[in-house]
Chain A
Amino acid sequence: GESVGLHLPTLSVQEGDNSIINCAYSNSASDYFIWYKQESGKGPQFIIDIRSNMDKRQGQRVTVLLNKTVKHLSLQIAATQPGDSAVYFCADLTNAGGTSYGKLTFGQGTILTVHP
């Protein structure tokens, strides 16, 4: 079935290092991919998204890469800080528009821990 999964459930890095969080998806028809950050006790917070017709998109300290050939998505965080410690979810959105909310499929999440 359709799924969005993560290669690693946990990732530990040192402050200042770059972090890479990976995600595999199976639905070739996905229109958008979205990365969320969820801190303990809080709801998911939007980080960045990318259209399926793009390969790369950059935000502030974050870059998302999309490889449609191998159905792989990654989130790169530059100069990781302790405040980046959280669970990161990828999600893919299919067939959204108008009255159709589309199908939003979430991965299980990766726990990022940043050590000072």
Chain B
Amino acid sequence: DVKVTQSSRYLVKRTGEKVFLECVQDMDHENMFWYRQDPGLGLRLIYFSYDVKMKEKGDIPEGYSVSREKKERFSLILESASTNQTSMYLCASRSYSGNTIYFGEGSWLTVV
């Protein structure tokens, strides 16, 4: 079975803190993604990576950065968390040859 694992399901952080969200996939997929999901706004792409050490900005990259040091792992970094980054964050992956994106269970982040 396809498996995308987000290690942190629920986090509460203070404004200004640095936050790391980790994601691991076990399908040897080349492409990995970070989305955020907000009520009324649907899923919005933050960053994606098409290979190790490669990254591209999505639709809403401001305030975020990413790291892809290994093929199976894609990290989302909030350098200085703000309250408007309170959201559900979804990691996903896809192979070069596939079309379907597989999602993790999500990480609920609250910034206070």
Q: Which of A41, A49, A106 contacts B42 (CB 8 A)?
A: A106
Contact A49–B99 (Cβ < 8 Å): yes
B 21-50 contacts with A by CB, 8 A: 31, 33, 40, 42-43, 45, 48, 50
Query: Which secondary structure characterizes the binding site on chain B?
Result: strand
Chain B contact patch, size range: 20 to 34
A61 within 8 A of B: no
Contact A93–B103 (Cβ < 8 Å): no
Q: 1/0 per position for A28-43, CB-CB distance to B under 8 A?
A: 0001101010000111
A109 to B99, CA, bound (A): 20
A98 to B56, CA, bound (A): 14
Q: 1/0 per position for A14-55, CB-CB distance to B under 8 A?
A: 000000000000000001101010000111111001000000
Q: How many pairs of A and B residues are in contact by the CB < 8 Å rule?
A: 50
Known A101-B48, A101-B50, A107-B42: A49·B103 in contact at CB below 8 Å: no
> Chain A contacts of B54 at CB under 8 A?
99
A62 within 8 A of B: no
> Chain A contacts of B51 at CB under 8 A?
99
A88 within 8 A of B: no
Contact B43–A32 (Cβ < 8 Å): no
B101 within 8 A of A: yes
Known A101-B50, A108-B42: A42·B106 in contact at CB below 8 Å: yes
Q: Which of A42, A89, A104 contacts B45 (CB 8 A)?
A: A104
Contact A98–B105 (Cβ < 8 Å): no
Q: Which of B42, B45, B102 contacts A109 (CB 8 A)?
A: B42
Chain A residues within 8 Å of B, Cβ to Cβ = 31-32, 34, 36, 41-46, 49, 89, 93, 96-101, 104, 106-109
Which 4 residue pairs are nearest across A and B when measured between Cβ atoms?
A: A43-B103, A106-B43, A32-B99, A99-B50
